[in-house]
Amino acid sequence: MTSVRISLESQTFTAQLADNPTARDLVDQLPLTLTFRDFNGVEKVADLPRPLTTAGVPAGADPDINDIGYYAPSGNLVFYYGDVGYWNGIVRIGQFDSSINLIQRQPDDFDVTIELA
C-alpha cells in the first residue's frame, strides 16, 4: 500500500493506494491537481493526463463507498461516495482512510491535489 494526501480547500484527506499495476501507474504521475465533477449522484470523476494501465487487474469491480477507482473506458479517476454496483472497466485502486462527505458535497469543477504522503 502507498499512502497519499488528497487536498481540497483547506482540508486534507489520507488514502491508501493498492499494490496493483493501475495504482502504481497513478503513483508515477503524482503529484497531480485534477478538476472533479459529479457523476450520477454517486461518484466524483476527473480526467487524468494520460490513461492508466489495466494490465494484470480484474476486468471489473464493485467499489465500496470511500473507494478510489479508475474507470478505464473513460480514463477517469473516481472517488466513490455512493453504491454503483459492479461494472466492467472499474479498477479499485485505493480507499480513503475516513469519510469523504466534504468531497461528496462539492459542486462541479472543484480542484483536488493528490500527492505522496
Question: Is the CA virtual torsion 20, 21, 26, 28 positive or negative?
Answer: positive
- Say if residue 59's pLDDT is above 90: yes
Q: How confident is the model at residue 9 (pLDDT cuts 50, 70, 90)?
A: confident
Q: How confident is the model at residue 42 (pLDDT cuts 50, 70, 90)?
A: very high
Q: What is the pLDDT of residue 51?
A: 97
| Average pLDDT of every residue of the chain | 97
Report whether 8 contacts 87 (CB < 8 A): no
pLDDT tens, residue by residue, 89-99: 999 999 999 99
Domain boundaries, the chain: 2-116
Q: How confident is the model at residue 116 (pLDDT cuts 50, 70, 90)?
A: very high
Owner of C-alpha cell 470523476: 45
Q: Which one is the CATH code of 2-116: 3.40.50.410, 3.30.70.930, 3.40.50.300, 2.40.100.20?
A: 2.40.100.20
- pLDDT above 70 coverage of the chain, percent: 100
Q: Is 75 left (phi over 0), alpha (psi -120 to 50) or beta?
A: left
d(CA 55, CA 9): 34
